[in-house]
Amino acid sequence: MSERIAVVGVGRMGANMARRLQEAGYSVTAVYDARPESAEALAKELNCANPLKLEDVTALADVVITVVTDDKAMHQIFAPRGDSLLNNAKGRIFINCATVSPAVHVDIEKRARRVKASSLEACMASSINQARAGTLYLMVGGDSKVFERAKPILDALSDQGKLLRYIGRAGQAAQVKALVNMVMNINTAGLAEGLGLGSALGLDLKVLMEVFSQTGANSRVLVTDGEDMLNRDHSCFFSAAHAAKDSGIAYALGQQAKLELPLAKAALGQFRKMVKVGLGELDKSGVAELTFKGRGPRKKRSASKKAKR
Amino acid sequence: MSERIAVVGVGRMGANMARRLQEAGYSVTAVYDARPESAEALAKELNCANPLKLEDVTALADVVITVVTDDKAMHQIFAPRGDSLLNNAKGRIFINCATVSPAVHVDIEKRARRVKASSLEACMASSINQARAGTLYLMVGGDSKVFERAKPILDALSDQGKLLRYIGRAGQAAQVKALVNMVMNINTAGLAEGLGLGSALGLDLKVLMEVFSQTGANSRVLVTDGEDMLNRDHSCFFSAAHAAKDSGIAYALGQQAKLELPLAKAALGQFRKMVKVGLGELDKSGVAELTFKGRGPRKKRSASKKAKR
């Protein structure tokens, strides 16, 4: 645990990962965010630095974990010139946890190698509570030797490595992550249609969900999202906006491969529609707002956090 | 077990239900099929009658189980005039197991009442092997008193009633069944897209399936259909043609309710496409033939039966 760790991008996920690593005995030396006030508050909590320059983050750490918004943010923090995590980065390991396009991970790995640093992608298939508890499901892509070096840190985030999967070379973990979320989003949007139609037909939705759970209609999202769809409890674990982003990444991969993916397209359409009508910050279970009669964007939904899961 | 039972429609499901009921100690007195040679062969096996007229079936039985193809076949066997199961049907119980439109069950119940007979819908969410073993998942709709009278027979088909669910009035079990299959078909078509895209990207599909199973992408169809999609083993448990029919019933209910169901529509499109290109008799897992590169209708697929499940 001699490595000094910095975290770049301290939204709900990144901040909880920093808290978890400090709790696990690691020295968290710096945090950074595009919104300096976020980094400042967390730095106070963790008693660490909050540099305003990216190159100062690199100077303070051996391992830099990044959890930023999108492809563009990744290119900015790893800019080839100007202020960048890559300045004087020789020997550093970058662990990139955001869901971004697979090609971005390949590109960042090249950029890191050029300055004699290393990078990994560690794609997460879990949410905020798991980040805090150190029980994230992590899919890792990149050089296997770099993976071995980073493994103790990754273990501390993934239930002592029980939820850690090495997938393959750079980009492949991000591809798997995109596919996971593509299929999950299809199942979620499909479940919302089944329950919405059941409601319109006047069926007992508790009985309907029970039958789903005992038949070929069963799925993980039935367990995680079914009741929330009935109760309109769409406080956010994984937002519709994120679902739209991830389905968009997967759908783009399909287009590049010249595949027809009508279900993926339909699910992407639903989550993009949520964003368009102002429901993007609801949990993905909020897709039921589009399929139940009498629901929809005009009714205000609370977005308060909830404790369960 | 004093009731005499007849079975109308002795395809793979109906024939196995007849075998099972005889094995369970019931007196199976008659079998009937639109293709007389099917009924004749089974009648020899079960040592029972195979009348060529529907009214003779009714004369020979107290309880008539029907497992016919579609709405049209239901209207034919329960015709209000001419040869019909309804002729001299006073006191009979009809148990209708085919997947047909919910409104048909409501209509048949009315017709049965008019001649002082009773009817139930017993919709099945299982397949051929379960019919033979008497372990069908049965969702029952109709009058609850009729259900109580028929319960011992239904128990013999549903693992001593462990898999028996009374849903509600006539038509409601068929609605639930349509929703089960609608959601199942969406999940199946979506899984085929995830695996097809994973294949196009050159990912290890065993690893991909394992990650799916451990994340929000998990589903019942991943267990039942995932490996078959990889191995192109589409011997038939539940045909694509049936999937198209059931998704069509559900989608029509959605249109009547004026709901937008883009995922249901996309899945219906995929299974209808399979029928159109000559893949309708493959198992529903064969939808992967539409999403994997280099697969498709031009490659011949075997449709042999397989023993597992």
Which of A200, A214, A219 is opposite residue B187, by nearest beta carbon?
A219
Which of A184, A196, A262 is opposite residue B266, by nearest beta carbon?
A262
Give the DSSP H or E segment for B118: strand B118-124
Residue with the bigger pLDDT between B244 and B304: it is: B244
Percentage with pLDDT > 70 across chain B: 96
> pLDDT value at position A66?
98
Residue A307 above 60 pLDDT?
A: no
Same domain (yes/no): B9, B75: yes
Residues 6 or more apart whose CB falls under 8 angstroms from that of B303 comprise B234, B235, B236, B281, B282
Same domain (yes/no): B21, B160: yes
Same domain (yes/no): A211, A153: no
What range defines the domain where residue B273 resides? 175-290
Give me the helices (H) in B9-117, please.
12-23, 36-46, 54-60, 71-77, 102-114
Residue B128 belongs to a domain: yes
> pLDDT value at position B15?
98
Which of B197, B214, B270 is opposite residue A259, by nearest beta carbon?
B197
Residue A303 above 60 pLDDT?
A: no
Same domain (yes/no): A32, A159: yes
Contact of B151 with B95, CB cutoff 8 Å:
no
Chains A and B: how many Cβ contacts under 8 Å? Answer: 221
Same domain (yes/no): A35, A163: yes
Paired residues of A28 in beta bridges = A5
B259: nearest CA partner in chain A: A291
> What pLDDT digit, counting tens, does each position of A117-135 carry?
999 999 998 888 999 999 9
Residue B237 belongs to a domain: yes
Residue A26 above 70 pLDDT?
A: yes
Sort residue A83 into left (φ over 0), alpha (ψ -120 to 50) or beta.
Answer: beta
Interface of A with B in 131-160 (CB under 8 A): 137, 139
Confidence of residue B11 (pLDDT cuts 50, 70, 90): very high
Cα separation of A305 and A137, whole Å? 21
Residue B300 above 60 pLDDT?
A: no
Contact of B96 with B66, CB cutoff 8 Å:
yes
Q: Find the CATH number of the domain harbouring B232.
A: 1.10.1040.10
> pLDDT value at position B298?
55
Residue A295 belongs to a domain: no
Which of B175, B216, B220 is opposite residue A218, by nearest beta carbon?
B220
Using a 10 angstrom Cβ sphere, with 0-12 exposed, 13-18 middle and 19 or more buried, the burial of residue B294 is exposed
Residue B302 above 70 pLDDT?
A: no
CB distance B267–A208 less than 8 Å? no
Same domain (yes/no): A230, A198: yes
Residue B16 above 50 pLDDT?
A: yes
Same domain (yes/no): B105, B162: yes
Percentage with pLDDT > 90 across chain A: 91
> What pLDDT digit, counting tens, does each position of A232-286 carry?
999 878 899 999 999 999 999 999 999 999 999 999 999 999 999 999 999 999 9
CB distance A259–B220 less than 8 Å? no
The DSSP output letter for B35 is S
Residue B75 belongs to a domain: yes
Contact of B148 with B130, CB cutoff 8 Å:
no
Percentage with pLDDT > 70 across chain A: 96
CB distance B196–A266 less than 8 Å? no
Residue A27 belongs to a domain: yes
> What pLDDT digit, counting tens, does each position of A173-228 carry?
999 999 999 999 999 999 999 999 999 999 999 999 999 999 999 999 999 999 99
> pLDDT value at position B199?
98
CB of A124 less than 8 A from some CB of B: no
What is the rounded average pLDDT of the residues B187-193?
98
Quickly count: other Cβ atoms within 10 Å of residue B249's Cβ.
26
> What pLDDT digit, counting tens, does each position of B59-98 carry?
999 999 999 999 999 999 999 999 999 999 999 999 999 9
**Which residues of chain B neighbour A266 with C-beta distances below 8 Å?**
262-263, 265-266
Residue A30 belongs to a domain: yes
- The residue from A145, A170, A195 where one domain ends is A170
Same domain (yes/no): A84, A218: no
Same domain (yes/no): B162, B181: no
Distance of residue A79 Cα from the nearest chain B Cα, in angstroms: 28
Q: How many domains does chain B have?
A: 2
Confidence of residue A1 (pLDDT cuts 50, 70, 90): low
> pLDDT value at position B98?
92
Distance of residue A86 Cα from the nearest chain B Cα, in angstroms: 29
Same domain (yes/no): A192, A207: yes
Residue A306 above 60 pLDDT?
A: no
- The residue from B153, B170, B187 where one domain ends is B170
**Which residues of chain A neighbour B264 with C-beta distances below 8 Å?**
190, 193, 197
Residue B73 belongs to a domain: yes
| Tokens 């076949």 sit on residue | B73
Q: Find the CATH number of the domain harbouring B84.
A: 3.40.50.720
> pLDDT value at position B116?
98
Same domain (yes/no): B30, B160: yes
Same domain (yes/no): B135, B249: no
Q: What are phi and psi of B259, to 5 degrees?
A: -100, 145
Confidence of residue B308 (pLDDT cuts 50, 70, 90): very low
Residue B219 belongs to a domain: yes
Q: What is the ipTM of this complex?
A: 0.91
Distance of residue B123 Cα from the nearest chain A Cα, in angstroms: 12
> pLDDT value at position A237?
81
What is the rounded average pLDDT of the residues B133-151?
97
- The residue from B151, B170, B189 where one domain ends is B170
- Strand pairing class (A27-32; A118-124): unpaired
> pLDDT value at position A309?
38
Average pLDDT, chain B: 94
Which of B190, B196, B269 is opposite residue A259, by nearest beta carbon?
B196
- Tell me the three-class secondary structure of chain A, residue by residue: CCCEEEEECCCHHHHHHHHHHHHCCCEEEEEECCCHHHHHHHHHHHCCECCCCHHHHHHHCCEEEECCCCHHHHHHHCCCCCCCCCCCCCCCEEEECCCCCHHHHHHHHHHHHHCCCEEEEEEECCCHHHHHHCECCEEEEECHHHHHHHHHHHHHHECCCCCEEEEECCCHHHHHHHHHHHHHHHHHHHHHHHHHHHHHCCCCHHHHHHHHHCCCCCEHHHHHHHHHHHHCCCCCCCEHHHHHHHHHHHHHHHHHCCCCCHHHHHHHHHHHHHHHCCCCCCEHHHHHHHCCCCCCCCCCCCCCCCCCC
Average pLDDT, chain A: 94
What is the rounded average pLDDT of the residues A61-88?
97
> pLDDT value at position A301?
46
CB distance A215–B180 less than 8 Å? yes
Confidence of residue B8 (pLDDT cuts 50, 70, 90): very high
Helix (H, G, I), strand (E, B) or coil at B167: strand
> pLDDT value at position A300?
47
